Structure 1
Amino acid sequence: MDLRNCVKCGRAFAYKGIDICNRCAHDDEADFKKVKEYLYDHPGATLQEVSEETEVSEKQILRYLRESRIEIREESNCLLHCERCEKSIRSGRFCNECVAEMRKEFSSVLKPQSEATPKEKPRTGTKMHIAGMRKKL
Protein backbone atom coordinates (compact mmCIF):
# COMPACT_ATOMS: atom_id res chain seq x y z
CA MET A 1 0.00 0.00 0.00
CA ASP A 2 1.39 3.37 -1.01
CA LEU A 3 0.82 6.07 1.64
CA ARG A 4 0.93 9.72 0.63
CA ASN A 5 -0.07 13.06 2.06
CA CYS A 6 -3.11 14.80 0.61
CA VAL A 7 -2.08 17.87 -1.39
CA LYS A 8 -5.11 19.78 -0.07
CA CYS A 9 -5.29 18.97 3.65
CA GLY A 10 -2.00 17.19 4.36
CA ARG A 11 -3.55 14.04 5.89
CA ALA A 12 -1.98 10.67 5.11
CA PHE A 13 -4.06 8.40 2.88
CA ALA A 14 -3.78 5.26 0.75
CA TYR A 15 -2.84 6.48 -2.74
CA LYS A 16 -5.13 5.23 -5.52
CA GLY A 17 -4.00 7.37 -8.44
CA ILE A 18 -5.35 10.71 -7.19
CA ASP A 19 -3.25 13.09 -5.08
CA ILE A 20 -6.08 13.93 -2.67
CA CYS A 21 -7.69 11.92 0.12
CA ASN A 22 -11.25 10.56 -0.03
CA ARG A 23 -12.67 13.40 2.10
CA CYS A 24 -11.09 16.07 -0.12
CA ALA A 25 -12.14 14.15 -3.25
CA HIS A 26 -15.74 14.24 -1.98
CA ASP A 27 -15.45 18.01 -1.39
CA ASP A 28 -13.88 18.44 -4.84
CA GLU A 29 -16.77 16.56 -6.44
CA ALA A 30 -19.24 18.82 -4.62
CA ASP A 31 -17.37 21.87 -5.98
CA PHE A 32 -17.49 20.42 -9.48
CA LYS A 33 -21.26 19.94 -9.20
CA LYS A 34 -21.64 23.60 -8.17
CA VAL A 35 -19.60 24.71 -11.20
CA LYS A 36 -21.49 22.39 -13.54
CA GLU A 37 -24.90 23.58 -12.29
CA TYR A 38 -23.86 27.24 -12.55
CA LEU A 39 -22.65 26.73 -16.12
CA TYR A 40 -25.86 24.91 -16.99
CA ASP A 41 -27.88 27.92 -15.78
CA HIS A 42 -25.41 30.53 -17.12
CA PRO A 43 -23.82 29.24 -20.36
CA GLY A 44 -20.96 31.37 -21.59
CA ALA A 45 -20.05 32.74 -18.15
CA THR A 46 -16.44 33.83 -17.69
CA LEU A 47 -13.94 32.09 -15.44
CA GLN A 48 -14.08 34.96 -12.95
CA GLU A 49 -17.89 34.95 -12.83
CA VAL A 50 -18.05 31.22 -12.23
CA SER A 51 -15.40 31.44 -9.53
CA GLU A 52 -17.09 34.32 -7.72
CA GLU A 53 -20.60 32.87 -7.87
CA THR A 54 -19.69 29.29 -6.91
CA GLU A 55 -16.85 30.17 -4.50
CA VAL A 56 -14.65 27.62 -6.30
CA SER A 57 -11.11 28.79 -7.06
CA GLU A 58 -10.10 29.64 -10.61
CA LYS A 59 -7.29 27.10 -10.29
CA GLN A 60 -9.82 24.31 -9.61
CA ILE A 61 -12.00 25.39 -12.52
CA LEU A 62 -8.95 25.36 -14.82
CA ARG A 63 -8.17 21.84 -13.58
CA TYR A 64 -11.71 20.75 -14.52
CA LEU A 65 -11.08 22.19 -17.99
CA ARG A 66 -7.74 20.33 -18.28
CA GLU A 67 -9.47 17.11 -17.20
CA SER A 68 -12.08 17.68 -19.97
CA ARG A 69 -14.87 17.66 -17.41
CA ILE A 70 -16.11 21.03 -18.65
CA GLU A 71 -15.49 22.92 -21.87
CA ILE A 72 -15.03 26.54 -22.93
CA ARG A 73 -17.96 27.55 -25.08
CA GLU A 74 -16.20 29.99 -27.40
CA GLU A 75 -12.93 29.18 -29.14
CA SER A 76 -11.86 32.83 -29.07
CA ASN A 77 -11.33 32.61 -25.29
CA CYS A 78 -7.63 31.77 -24.83
CA LEU A 79 -7.60 30.20 -21.37
CA LEU A 80 -6.12 26.88 -22.43
CA HIS A 81 -3.36 26.01 -24.86
CA CYS A 82 -2.28 22.68 -26.30
CA GLU A 83 0.71 21.41 -24.32
CA ARG A 84 2.37 20.28 -27.54
CA CYS A 85 1.80 23.03 -30.14
CA GLU A 86 0.41 25.93 -28.02
CA LYS A 87 -2.78 26.18 -30.13
CA SER A 88 -5.82 27.53 -28.26
CA ILE A 89 -8.14 24.72 -27.10
CA ARG A 90 -11.53 24.46 -25.39
CA SER A 91 -10.73 21.66 -22.92
CA GLY A 92 -8.22 18.93 -22.19
CA ARG A 93 -4.45 19.06 -22.62
CA PHE A 94 -3.94 18.65 -26.38
CA CYS A 95 -5.65 19.85 -29.56
CA ASN A 96 -7.37 17.33 -31.85
CA GLU A 97 -4.56 17.47 -34.41
CA CYS A 98 -1.87 16.67 -31.82
CA VAL A 99 -3.98 13.85 -30.38
CA ALA A 100 -4.26 12.31 -33.87
CA GLU A 101 -0.50 12.71 -34.46
CA MET A 102 0.36 11.15 -31.08
CA ARG A 103 -1.96 8.21 -31.71
CA LYS A 104 -0.24 7.63 -35.04
CA GLU A 105 3.21 7.87 -33.43
CA PHE A 106 2.26 5.52 -30.58
CA SER A 107 0.73 2.96 -32.91
CA SER A 108 3.85 2.93 -35.09
CA VAL A 109 6.04 2.28 -32.02
CA LEU A 110 3.85 -0.43 -30.53
CA LYS A 111 3.88 -3.75 -32.35
CA PRO A 112 0.60 -5.51 -33.07
CA GLN A 113 -0.22 -8.18 -30.49
CA SER A 114 0.13 -11.02 -33.00
CA GLU A 115 3.75 -10.08 -33.76
CA ALA A 116 4.72 -9.41 -30.14
CA THR A 117 3.91 -12.86 -28.73
CA PRO A 118 4.99 -16.17 -30.22
CA LYS A 119 2.28 -18.57 -31.30
CA GLU A 120 1.12 -20.89 -28.53
CA LYS A 121 0.35 -24.56 -28.94
CA PRO A 122 -3.37 -25.22 -28.98
CA ARG A 123 -4.64 -26.81 -25.78
CA THR A 124 -5.92 -30.32 -26.12
CA GLY A 125 -7.19 -31.10 -22.61
CA THR A 126 -10.54 -30.07 -21.24
CA LYS A 127 -9.55 -30.05 -17.57
CA MET A 128 -8.55 -26.96 -15.69
CA HIS A 129 -5.22 -27.09 -13.89
CA ILE A 130 -6.73 -27.09 -10.42
CA ALA A 131 -9.04 -30.02 -11.26
CA GLY A 132 -6.06 -32.23 -12.13
CA MET A 133 -4.49 -31.45 -8.76
CA ARG A 134 -7.48 -32.59 -6.65
CA LYS A 135 -7.20 -35.84 -4.75
CA LYS A 136 -9.70 -38.45 -5.69
CA LEU A 137 -11.86 -39.59 -2.80
Structure 2
Amino acid sequence: MKDVQNCPKCGKIFVKALRPICQQCFQEQEKNYETVSRFMRRKQNRMASIREVHEKTEVPITQIHQFVREGRLLVTHFPNLGYPCESCETIITEGRICATCTSNIKSGLDKIDKEKEFEQRKDEERRKERSAGATYHSLNDRFDKK
Protein backbone atom coordinates (compact mmCIF):
# COMPACT_ATOMS: atom_id res chain seq x y z
CA MET A 1 0.00 0.00 0.00
CA LYS A 2 1.16 3.52 -0.74
CA ASP A 3 2.39 5.79 2.01
CA VAL A 4 -0.58 8.08 2.74
CA GLN A 5 0.15 11.11 4.93
CA ASN A 6 -1.08 14.54 5.82
CA CYS A 7 0.80 17.39 4.15
CA PRO A 8 2.90 19.15 6.82
CA LYS A 9 2.11 22.53 5.23
CA CYS A 10 -1.62 22.46 4.52
CA GLY A 11 -2.80 19.29 6.27
CA LYS A 12 -4.38 17.71 3.19
CA ILE A 13 -4.10 13.96 2.75
CA PHE A 14 -1.77 12.91 -0.08
CA VAL A 15 0.24 9.92 -1.26
CA LYS A 16 3.86 10.49 -0.31
CA ALA A 17 5.98 9.30 -3.21
CA LEU A 18 8.78 11.63 -4.22
CA ARG A 19 8.06 14.69 -2.10
CA PRO A 20 7.28 15.24 1.57
CA ILE A 21 4.49 17.73 0.69
CA CYS A 22 1.35 17.56 -1.44
CA GLN A 23 1.31 18.55 -5.12
CA GLN A 24 -0.45 21.85 -4.49
CA CYS A 25 2.07 22.95 -1.83
CA PHE A 26 4.91 21.77 -4.07
CA GLN A 27 3.65 23.93 -6.94
CA GLU A 28 3.37 26.91 -4.60
CA GLN A 29 6.91 26.26 -3.35
CA GLU A 30 8.22 26.09 -6.94
CA LYS A 31 6.42 29.34 -7.77
CA ASN A 32 8.09 30.97 -4.76
CA TYR A 33 11.46 29.62 -5.88
CA GLU A 34 11.00 31.07 -9.34
CA THR A 35 10.07 34.43 -7.81
CA VAL A 36 13.18 34.47 -5.59
CA SER A 37 15.41 33.16 -8.37
CA ARG A 38 14.20 35.78 -10.82
CA PHE A 39 14.74 38.51 -8.22
CA MET A 40 18.26 37.31 -7.36
CA ARG A 41 19.34 36.99 -11.00
CA ARG A 42 19.05 40.74 -11.49
CA LYS A 43 22.53 42.23 -11.14
CA GLN A 44 21.48 44.94 -8.67
CA ASN A 45 19.91 42.32 -6.33
CA ARG A 46 22.80 39.85 -6.07
CA MET A 47 24.05 41.35 -2.80
CA ALA A 48 20.58 41.42 -1.21
CA SER A 49 20.14 39.98 2.28
CA ILE A 50 17.49 37.43 3.22
CA ARG A 51 15.34 40.16 4.76
CA GLU A 52 15.52 42.27 1.58
CA VAL A 53 14.63 39.28 -0.59
CA HIS A 54 11.69 38.54 1.70
CA GLU A 55 10.46 42.13 1.63
CA LYS A 56 10.72 42.45 -2.17
CA THR A 57 9.33 39.02 -3.13
CA GLU A 58 7.00 38.33 -0.17
CA VAL A 59 8.32 34.76 -0.04
CA PRO A 60 8.52 33.51 3.59
CA ILE A 61 12.00 33.73 5.13
CA THR A 62 11.89 30.06 6.15
CA GLN A 63 11.35 29.07 2.54
CA ILE A 64 14.27 31.23 1.36
CA HIS A 65 16.41 29.53 4.03
CA GLN A 66 15.25 26.18 2.68
CA PHE A 67 16.25 27.11 -0.88
CA VAL A 68 19.75 28.05 0.33
CA ARG A 69 20.05 24.94 2.53
CA GLU A 70 19.06 22.71 -0.40
CA GLY A 71 21.64 24.41 -2.65
CA ARG A 72 19.05 25.81 -5.01
CA LEU A 73 20.33 29.33 -4.32
CA LEU A 74 24.12 29.20 -4.32
CA VAL A 75 25.90 31.31 -1.72
CA THR A 76 28.88 31.56 -4.06
CA HIS A 77 26.71 33.67 -6.37
CA PHE A 78 24.72 35.39 -3.61
CA PRO A 79 27.09 35.93 -0.65
CA ASN A 80 24.57 37.60 1.68
CA LEU A 81 22.24 34.60 1.74
CA GLY A 82 22.37 31.88 4.37
CA TYR A 83 20.24 29.95 6.82
CA PRO A 84 20.19 29.65 10.62
CA CYS A 85 22.32 27.22 12.61
CA GLU A 86 20.11 24.52 14.10
CA SER A 87 21.59 25.17 17.53
CA CYS A 88 22.07 28.92 17.99
CA GLU A 89 20.32 30.50 14.97
CA THR A 90 23.51 32.18 13.67
CA ILE A 91 23.36 32.56 9.89
CA ILE A 92 25.56 29.96 8.15
CA THR A 93 26.16 28.97 4.54
CA GLU A 94 26.89 25.24 4.83
CA GLY A 95 26.25 22.31 7.12
CA ARG A 96 23.68 22.15 9.89
CA ILE A 97 25.48 23.90 12.75
CA CYS A 98 27.98 26.77 12.92
CA ALA A 99 31.69 26.43 13.75
CA THR A 100 31.19 27.73 17.30
CA CYS A 101 28.52 25.15 18.11
CA THR A 102 30.63 22.43 16.47
CA SER A 103 33.62 23.27 18.66
CA ASN A 104 31.39 23.43 21.76
CA ILE A 105 30.02 19.96 21.00
CA LYS A 106 33.51 18.57 20.34
CA SER A 107 34.92 20.04 23.54
CA GLY A 108 31.98 18.64 25.49
CA LEU A 109 32.54 15.19 24.01
CA ASP A 110 36.29 15.43 24.74
CA LYS A 111 35.51 16.34 28.35
CA ILE A 112 33.18 13.35 28.70
CA ASP A 113 35.85 11.04 27.22
CA LYS A 114 38.48 12.37 29.65
CA GLU A 115 36.11 11.86 32.59
CA LYS A 116 35.46 8.27 31.50
CA GLU A 117 39.20 7.60 31.16
CA PHE A 118 39.80 9.07 34.62
CA GLU A 119 37.08 6.88 36.14
CA GLN A 120 38.52 3.80 34.43
CA ARG A 121 42.00 4.56 35.79
CA LYS A 122 40.56 5.09 39.27
CA ASP A 123 38.70 1.77 39.10
CA GLU A 124 41.86 0.04 37.90
CA GLU A 125 43.87 1.47 40.81
CA ARG A 126 41.19 0.37 43.30
CA ARG A 127 41.27 -3.16 41.91
CA LYS A 128 45.06 -3.28 42.18
CA GLU A 129 44.96 -2.05 45.78
CA ARG A 130 42.36 -4.64 46.72
CA SER A 131 44.24 -7.51 45.10
CA ALA A 132 47.58 -6.45 46.63
CA GLY A 133 46.17 -6.07 50.12
CA ALA A 134 44.13 -9.26 50.16
CA THR A 135 45.72 -11.77 52.53
CA TYR A 136 44.01 -14.90 53.66
CA HIS A 137 44.76 -16.71 56.90
CA SER A 138 43.77 -20.20 57.69
CA LEU A 139 42.38 -21.05 61.10
CA ASN A 140 44.34 -24.29 61.00
CA ASP A 141 47.61 -22.37 60.83
CA ARG A 142 46.84 -20.58 64.08
CA PHE A 143 45.95 -23.72 65.94
CA ASP A 144 48.91 -25.71 64.62
CA LYS A 145 51.45 -23.26 66.02
CA LYS A 146 50.34 -23.74 69.64
TM-score (normalizing by structure 2): 0.53
Distance 2:62 2:9 in 1: 13
Task: Give the residue type in structure 2 aligned to 1:74.
Answer: P
Kindly report structure 1 stretches of 4+ aligned residues shifted beyond 3 Å: 75-78
Gaps of 5+ in 1: 89-137
Instruction: Give the SS at the match of 1:74.
Output: coil
The Cα of 1:40 is off from its aligned counterpart by 0.6
Task: Give the equivalent residue in structure 1 for 2:28.
Answer: 27
Q: Does 1:44 align with 2:56?
A: no
| Structure 2: runs of 5 or more not aligned | 83-89, 101-146
Kindly state the Cα deviation for residue 76 of structure 1 after the two structures are TM-superposed: 9.8
1:57 aligns with 2:69: no
Contact 2:50 2:61 in 1 (8 A): yes
- Alpha-carbon deviations, 1:25-44, whole Å to 9, x = none? 00100000000000011111
The 5 Å alignment of 1:44-123 reads 44-72=47-75, 73-74=78-79, 79-80=91-92, 81-83=94-96, 86-87=98-99
Q: Distance in 2 between matches of 1:65 and 1:56?
A: 13
Q: Deviations over 1:77-124 (max 9, x none)?
A: 76225236x349xxxxxxxxxxxxxxxxxxxxxxxxxxxxxxxxxxxx
8 Å CA contact retained: 2:48, 2:80? no
RMSD: 2.4
Q: Which residue of 2 aligns with 1:16?
A: 17
Native 8 Å contact 2:4 2:13 kept in 1? yes
| Residue in 2 that maps onto 1:2 | 3
> Structure 1 or 2: larger helix share?
2
Identity of aligned residues (%): 28
Secondary structure of 2:51 counterpart: helix
Q: Distance in 1 between the 2:31 and 2:81 partners?
A: 29
Give the count of matched residue pairs: 87
Distance 1:55 1:76 in 2: 16
Q: Secondary structure at the match of 2:8?
A: coil
State the alpha-carbon separation in 2 of the partners of residues 49 and 5 from structure 1: 33
TM-score (structure 1 length as normaliser): 0.57
